[in-house]
Structure 1
Amino acid sequence: SRRMMELIAQKQREREEREKRETIERERQRRKQGQELSLLRQRLQEDEMRKLAEQRRRDKMEEKLAKQRVREKIERDKAERAKKFGAAAQGSSEPPAAPAVPSSPSQEPPSKREYDQCRIQVRLLDGSSLTQTFRAREQLAAVRLYVELHRGGAPEPFRLLTPFPRRVFTEDDMEKPLQELGTEAGRPWERSWGRSWECSRGRSRERSW
């Protein structure tokens, strides 16, 4: 029918118009993308050119610094050679200086150190020990009395002796000062502040102690 033909023709025109608009839009998008790609390519080229220019500047600067370092090294070498040559020439023209003899420091004899006390350790018969400090001028009898008062246990005759050098003290030694006994034993009092003695069982010629 006529109405049907008109509808078909209208639909066909609408489709053609739509396709035409789509074609125009695609072309516009293609051109836009082409322009964007062209701009991007141009920016990349510009960035690459800037990088190349910067690299060339760095290379030139490094080359300049390297040449400067070489020149400075050459100048230092020249100065050192001139200095060595001048020192050698001066040394050959002057007589050798006599070596200085160091003066020996005056050696003063060490001062003796005097002690006025003596610390005595006495090992008892049971293996224990007593330790006491006495004045240098006290008699040996003071040591014997101290042992008698502090040894403990039942009274038992004993003798005082030094283990090294071995010496057994007698009744005649009881009135001698400790300082004198230390000197007689070959151990100067001023060089030793302590003594180690022992007790042994036995009697002296005159009395028990």
Structure 2
Amino acid sequence: MAEMTALEMMMEMGFSRNRAEKALALSGHQGIEKAMDWLIEHEDDPNLDEPYVAPQGDVLGTTEKSELGAAEMSFEENSNQIQHNAALSEEEKKEQLKRLEELMRQRQLEREEREKKDEIDREKQRRKQGQELSLIRQKLQEEEMRKIAEERRKEKLEDIRAKQRVREKIERDKAERALKFGGSGGVTAAAAPVQPTPVVPQSSLGTPAKREYDECRLQIRLLDGTQLTQSFKSREQLAAVRLYVQLQQQDDPGNFNLMTSFPRKVFSEEDMEKPLQELGLVPSAVLFVCKK
């Protein structure tokens, strides 16, 4: 039986003539194994089934002699699988084809393994990039949180300074009122001539004169039950007491009224301009803070 050429063997394995010719030519006529490797590597090429055009001087497939020469070179260079110029029996042809098909399956498995490995490597790269992006986002978030915390710290510090300025103003106002009212009263008393006190019989004495108090001691009960005790000048306005309460309350410093319980009286905005002495809170009184 005549020897089978490489082209015939590949066609016997199920490859089309065009694919077989193209694979043998483009793999350099190095045998069936090289041709099959080329087909496996290029099986996804869109132009794989386009007609093969041999370069000038290439006579692949033109004569049986050239095919036989290519086949002889292929078998001799690879593994001496086919003996030169020897006939193969049907059993030998089947065995040869079986071996080549097994080799092709092995090459395909190797290719699949390479593709799986490449996919794993790509997935690792994607995960690495994802972790790097996650770290960048985390750093940006931490930086933003630091900025927010710094802004809040500055706002809190400014609030403390504002309250401190209000307290200082209250102290200055107290000092000015004390100097204005207390000082002028002292000068007037000193400048007035001393008049002799007439002796009045005990029977003619009426109700004793009301005592004048310069200070007013207030107990103030806040909404949360806290009790404060503070002294004010008797001539200070009730607005000074309200300002003092505002500084002590953190939750709602402005939305409240001041009242007494015995007798019950809720002080109005007009009362805020009146001195404590005029409102009957001297020398001491208890005030309650109530919601508006």
If the length of structure 2 is used for normalisation, what is the TM-score? 0.32
Question: Which structure ranks higher in relative contact order (CA pairs < 8 Å, sequence separation ≥ 6)?
Answer: 1
Q: Which has the higher strand share?
A: 1
